[in-house]
Structure 1
């Protein structure tokens, strides 16, 4: 029998542990949201595409090898009869209607005005932009997910509060009924208490529905069936927030995705300006071409091989002032990107300062509402005892219950707001998404 009891106890403990493991805490929830979110995955694909573009740009450093075939029919062909060598077969030196060849060309740029180098820098800057977009998207997404998670936990607390309030009202109804049955109070007391009980039932129903809808939203963000009863924390735990505030502004300026993107936009604009200028700096290349076809090098009918090799140089001289205007336009775009970077920098400094202020305010609000709840709870007990002793009217008990409930609601809201403000400060420093 003792062994059976021991086994049962172990089973209960194991089941409790399994249930505890099923609780979706904030860390697990963030991971699932980030893993599922389409915007994050799109940003990651953008980074992969940028990598491919960098490799494509770097491939221009090497030689180009092209192959081709050509055929044409000439209606009035050149007559090479006068070029016929002595003793050559007569049927090979006649006008040729059919011209064809297969060829292979190898070309290597020696100098191109920095075009390849500028294009590589441009593609690298575009990759930095995509990385910054991923960081920015993740930072905002996690903050958004945090808000929904803590709001859901708050709604779970609201449900517990509504149920507790209902129990309190049920006790009041019982006391009022006993006092009415004993003809101590009028029926008015009982009716007032029963009205409040009906209102408490409605509050419980409303709190249950709001929690279900909130859980549906959490499930949607994780990419699971919205009707799955995901288990979350029972309440928001208020505790000291340990956060390194040293050089917090400097950290934000080095980690925020918005600023990284703005800086990459400046580099991209500069690279694009250099790429535009490279078109007007001339180019030098060497090439070799081999072909096989007819007519032969001596205009014979039989197919023969031939080859070419050489070096080429091209230098733009005058294009109606196009170079000057294009460079001026690209310079303006670079200046715009620099101004945008300065704007983003100012906004980040403001965000961090504001986030610190709001977090400090939310911390004080939790402490104040907790004290108010303690006072409201004590007042409720005192008024309830006075009513039971016949020293206070029932309306004072009802008002005390309402004040206690309002104080509890304010306390829950303060805790939820505090957790959101924690997340907001970490978001402001760019550390929410790694």
Structure 2
């Protein structure tokens, strides 16, 4: 009976430990099934949380915690304990004897010319660096996921356009067959209509395959199963971008996380220079030691105590210019980081200006393509009506169908490009992630 109760208690403990462990909770959270439908915001949220680059960058948080703990430890005392067992040979007076020692020593830094404080500041700056690195990784992951999302919408719009074009070619074939039955169309007209329909059927198969590949690429970016039945919500449509609250370049300089990463590196390197320079100056330590010793002489069996304490002043007099060499290295690294900041400023200016110009031009292209679709649709209607009434030739209808299909595909591509340039502008100004935060606040 006791054995049974012990086994039951052991099983309950195992279950409780497994259910309450942080690793178990995190694993269950990471394996939570995604929503059955994905819109743009859901895609952005998944990319920001599930991207491997983001998860890798998030490990810097633990690195930052370790650095802060290590930096503070440099200001704390170091206490060591030890034992010694010595065999002492003195054949003239006492022969072979043993000496045992147990001791505890303490070393407390009192003054390091600013190196300890600089190390703590550098560790805290690394904490900021890790958060900025995570934001930078999230920004790039969200942009990549948005592009894949719009790839799906474009492929779906192309599939719809090709499907409707196939319906038009089927309708045209029915008209040609009807006219042939009346003796007003030839076999050549029928062959042309069938060839047009066959080409459209091939285009439909290609469009279906393109949509499947686009979905698979999106799911790969989001780390979802490629064959997942999750529905992708949304339609490819023209969205006028609202005006930014301020000058785009100023917004970018304030919000771009990759620029903040580089600036933080410069600040950390400044602290490293201070810490390196401090090795030239005086350092002060409080030291102490307590020892419990068994003398080597057989005449004394009792243990004796020894202890001392004091302050140690250390002033470097000559160190072979090692500190000078390290200072040259640290300053050179600092200059490299500053050049990287300057280069990033130039890159951001270029990216923002390019995004603004591309977005403006894309909006104009969308309007032009929309007009082209309306004109091609009207031309197709007139060609079909004229052919049915014996005014136009069949080639007029076929050419009008091709023109209408191409105009629709061109319009979809123009709308797609406009949406991508919208994403690029938000990425260039660093406000892309704010859409996720704004949606979460509204919910």
Query: What TM-score, normalized by structure 2, do the two folds share?
Result: 0.86
Partner of 2:72: 58
Once the two structures are overlaid, the 10-residue window that deviates more, 290-299 or 153-162, is 290-299
- Structure 2 distance, partners of 1:182, 1:72, is 121
Structure 1 range deviating more: 337-346 or 326-335: 326-335
Superposed counterparts of 1:267-416, under 5 Å: 267-295=267-295, 300-416=300-416
- The Cα shift of 1:319 comes to 2.0
Q: 1:325 to 1:297 in 2, by over 3 A?
A: farther
CA shift at 1:301, angstroms? Answer: 4.0
Following TM superposition, by how much is the alpha carbon of 1:296 offset from its aligned partner in structure 2, in angstroms? 7.8
The alpha-carbon deviation at position 38 of structure 1 amounts to 1.2
1:77–1:97 CA contact under 8 A, matched in 2: no
- Matching residue of 2:45: 31
Cα distance between partner residues in 2 of 1:332 and 1:169: 70
Q: Deviations over 1:229-271 (max 9, x none)?
A: 3311352121322141512211211211221121112112211
Greater gyration radius: 1
**Deviation readout 1:348-389 (Å, 9 max, x if unpaired):** 111111111111111111111111111111111111111111
- How much is the aligned-residue C-alpha RMSD, in angstroms? 2.0
- What does the per-residue CA deviation read over 1:396-421, in whole Å, with 9 as the maximum and x for residues that have no partner? 11110100011000110111111111
Partners of 2:128 and 2:158 in 1: CA distance: 45
Structure 2 counterpart of 1:264 = 264
Partner of 1:7: none
Unaligned runs of 5+ in 2: 1-34, 435-443
Kept in 2: contact 1:288–1:308 (CA 8 A):
yes
Runs of 4+ in 1 over 6 A off after TM superposition: 296-299
Q: Which residue of 1 aligns with 2:32?
A: none
Q: 1:415 & 1:331 partners in 2: Cα distance?
A: 50
Which residue is 1:86 aligned to?
none
> What is the correspondence of 1:63-212 to structure 2 with a 5 Å cutoff?
63-76=77-90, 97-212=97-212
- Structure 2 contact 68–123 (Cα < 8 Å) conserved: yes
How much does 1:78 deviate?
9.4
Q: Distance in 2 between matches of 1:224 and 1:139?
A: 19
1:74–1:97 Cα contact (<8 Å) kept: yes
> For each residue in 1:77-107, what CA deviation from the matched residue of structure 2 results, as whole angstroms up to 9, or x when unmatched?
895xxxxxxxxxxxxxx56622222221222
What is the DSSP-based 3-state SS (H/G/I as helix, E as strand, rest coil) of the residue aligned with 1:98?
strand
* Displacement of 1:33: 1.9
Q: How far has the Cα of 1:112 moved from its partner? A: 1.2
Does the C-alpha gap of structure 1 residues 77 and 122 become closer, same or farther in structure 2, counting only changes over 3 Å?
farther
Relative to structure 1, the CA distance from residue 247 to residue 71 in structure 2 (aligned partners, 3 Å threshold; closer, same or farther) is farther
Q: 1:417: which partner in 2?
A: 417
Residues 47 and 138 in structure 2, CA contact (< 8 A), matched pair in contact too: no
How far apart in 2 are the matches of 1:69 and 1:258? 53
CA distance in 2 between counterparts of 1:180 and 1:356 reads 56
